[in-house]
């Protein structure tokens, strides 16, 4: 383990950071039931009801965690999100220890403060999403590698590889952390020797062993994941160049991190003089950030993905930012005030995003509307299903189907149209033709015009009109209902 400078130890800062993490855990557990499930959470909850060694687009880790949470607390929102809050807190602990090992207790404290106030981490800490899970393993693997690099024994390297492997069971992007480790070894002269030792390659092999379930599953299902990954990253299309996407990418990153904090981090790379000693620690934090962030920056020239895709990169980015701006603030009063203003703005942004009803934003502009209205929609759908006698519910997209499955009485199986090229897990499970070969369907669609695949599945489609998803007295979504009838006699 790297020896820290004596002046880097500050029990006050370390204990204060631990108190902040404990308080944050309690608050997020209380907040976790404030919002309804978002579509991703309901989708992964469906996975937990269909145990498997892998799924179309991800490994099984999130399904395992949801299954454990719902085993403890029932098929409830709290059961789904319980381990998300614990993992987010565990990420905070890893950031604290990483900042402490790389720089100082003071830098570690401010890294925890930054992680606690930026929207990406603070708002996401109460949601059971893929990022919450794989960022946890990414942060602990980062800490383990810094420990392993000072050892020639194989144990620390196997631990590091296993933590990366658990990340791979969560999200395949976790493999890029291995690139970060290799980049640091190339960059740092003292660590370059690891690339010639068996321990580094044992770590790599250990991590890749965790991909065996994905290989076995894909072999059984004719390799649908490769198609999905190409489609998800826009790589199945011809070459294109969109400068506006790059600007949108940077703008969205500034939004989820908070604008001034994002600018402060970018300033470290614009002014390399700020990236000074301790050189190995600085180099490591940089290599934890740049490969993943750089990949999505380059991808943004042709495809604009969700802003949360870069989440794991900010583990290193936050530690780097806290260390460098903490040092700068001790030497310059302007830097101290700039840092405090940036933190205050981030805290305000996060506080607003945790509860937006009082803003009175119109439909489609409130970011929390995606976590509202599903319960009311399910009540309306249940009413129409009873009145029409439809045997099952079918939605035109997988998120609507998953949310309805969770909120409909009895939490029944719901379905989506079959596709020859599956783009979500529901299309791979037994479909409605197999489960209800002669049954009529209540179809819930986001658009008034149904896709051709749906029209071909039924002898007739009877429009039932629109229904609105309501939150309080606000409309947060509009859907269109149809009765799909298998035979003309069913009319």
Same domain? 237 vs 301 = yes
Q: How many folded domains does the chain comprise?
A: 2
Last residue of a domain, one of 332, 355, 378: 355
360 within a domain of the structure (yes/no): no
Domain C-terminal end among 355, 390, 424: 355
Q: Which tens digit of pLDDT belongs to each residue from 229-253? A: 776 655 556 566 778 889 999 999 9
Residue 20 sits in the same domain as residue 92: yes
- Report whether 348 contacts 259 (CB < 8 A): no
Query: Does residue 147 share a domain with residue 176?
Result: yes
Residue 1 has pLDDT above 50, yes or no: no
Say if 1 falls within a structural domain. no
Residue 2 has what pLDDT? 41
**Is it the case that residue 433 has pLDDT exceeding 90?**
no
Averaged pLDDT for residues 353-358: 88
- pLDDT value at position 4? 44
Consecutive H or E run containing 479: strand 474-485
Domain assignment present for residue 361? The answer is: no
Are 388 and 332 members of one domain?
Answer: no
Is 98 in contact with 319 (CB distance < 8 Å)? yes
Identify whether residues 266 and 314 lie together within a single domain: yes
- Domain membership of residue 51 (yes or no) is yes
Residues 308 and 394 reside in one and the same domain: no
Task: Tell me whether residue 225 is in a domain.
Answer: yes
Contact predicate 382/371, CB 8 Å: no
Residues 249 and 293 in one domain: yes
pLDDT tens for 328-342 read: 887 788 888 988 999
- Residue 363 is assigned to a structural domain of this protein: no
Q: Is 15 helix (H, G, I), strand (E, B) or coil?
A: helix
**Quick check: is 362 in a domain?**
no
Q: Are residues 313 and 401 in the same domain?
A: no
* pLDDT at residue number 363: 77
Does the model's pTM come out above 0.95?
no
Q: Measuring CA to CA, which residue among 390, 445, 438 is closest to residue 412?
A: 390
- Regarding whether 340 and 378 lie in a shared domain, the answer is no
Neighbours of 419 (CB within 10 A): 14
Same domain for 61 and 210: yes
Judge if 348 and 388 occupy the same domain: no
> Residue 123 phi/psi, 5° resolution?
-70, -40
Q: Which structural domain, as residue segments, surrounds residue 485?
A: 370-490
Hey, which residues does 474 pair with through a beta bridge? 471
Asked if residue 212 and residue 109 are part of one domain, the reply reads: yes
Q: Tell whether the model's pLDDT for residue 276 goes beyond 80.
A: no
Does residue 300 contact residue 233 with C-beta atoms inside 8 Å? no
Report if residue 399 sits inside a domain.
yes
């Amino acid at each position: 383990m790297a020896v820290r400078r004596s002046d880097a130890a500050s029990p006050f800062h370390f204990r204060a950071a631990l108190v902040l993490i404990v308080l944050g855990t309690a608050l997020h557990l209380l907040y976790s039931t404030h919002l309804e499930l978002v579509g991703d959470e309901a989708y992964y909850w469906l996975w937990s009801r269909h145990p498997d060694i892998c799924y179309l687009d991800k490994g099984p880790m999130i399904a395992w965690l949801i299954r454990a949470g719902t085993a403890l607390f029932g098929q409830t929102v709290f059961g789904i999100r319980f381990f998300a809050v614990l993992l987010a807190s565990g990420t905070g602990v890893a950031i604290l220890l990483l900042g402490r090992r790389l720089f100082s207790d003071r830098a570690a404290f401010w890294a925890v403060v930054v992680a606690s106030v930026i929207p990406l981490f603070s708002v996401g800490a109460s949601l059971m999403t893929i990022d919450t899970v794989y960022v946890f393993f990414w942060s602990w693997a980062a800490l383990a590698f810094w420990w392993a690099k000072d050892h020639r024994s194989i144990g620390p390297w196997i631990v590091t590889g296993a933590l990366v492997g658990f990340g791979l069971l969560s999200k395949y992007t976790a493999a890029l952390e291995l690139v970060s480790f290799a980049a640091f070894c190339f960059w740092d002269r003292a660590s370059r020797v690891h690339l010639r030792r068996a321990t580094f390659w044992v770590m790599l092999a250990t991590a890749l062993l965790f991909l065996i379930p994905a290989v076995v599953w894909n072999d059984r299902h004719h390799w649908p994941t490769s198609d999905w990954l190409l489609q998800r990253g826009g790589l199945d299309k011809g070459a294109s160049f969109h400068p506006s996407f790059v600007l949108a990418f940077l703008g969205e990153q500034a939004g989820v991190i908070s604008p001034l904090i994002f600018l402060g981090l970018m300033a470290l790379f614009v002014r390399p003089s700020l990236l000074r000693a301790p050189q190995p620690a600085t180099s490591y934090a940089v290599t934890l950030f740049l490969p993943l962030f750089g990949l999505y920056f380059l991808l943004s020239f042709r495809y604009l993905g969700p802003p949360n895709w870069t989440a794991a990169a900010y583990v290193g980015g936050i530690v780097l930012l806290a260390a460098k701006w903490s040092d700068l603030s001790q030497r310059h009063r302007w830097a101290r005030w700039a840092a405090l203003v940036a933190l205050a703005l981030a805290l305000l942004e996060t506080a607003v995003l945790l509860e937006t009803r009082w803003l009175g934003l119109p439909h489609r502009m409130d970011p929390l509307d995606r976590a509202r209205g599903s319960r009311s929609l399910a009540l309306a759908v249940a009413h129409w299903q009873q009145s029409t006698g439809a045997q099952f519910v079918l939605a035109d997209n997988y998120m609507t189907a998953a949310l309805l499955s969770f909120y409909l009485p009895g939490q029944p199986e719901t379905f989506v149209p079959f596709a020859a090229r599956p783009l979500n897990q529901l299309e791979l499970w037994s479909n409605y033709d197999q489960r209800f070969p002669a049954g009529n369907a209540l179809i819930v669609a986001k658009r008034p015009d149904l896709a051709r695949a749906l029209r071909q599945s039924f002898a007739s489609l009877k429009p039932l009109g629109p229904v609105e998803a309501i939150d309080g007295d606000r409309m947060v979504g509009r859907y269109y209902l149809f009765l799909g009838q298998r035979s003309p006699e069913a009319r």
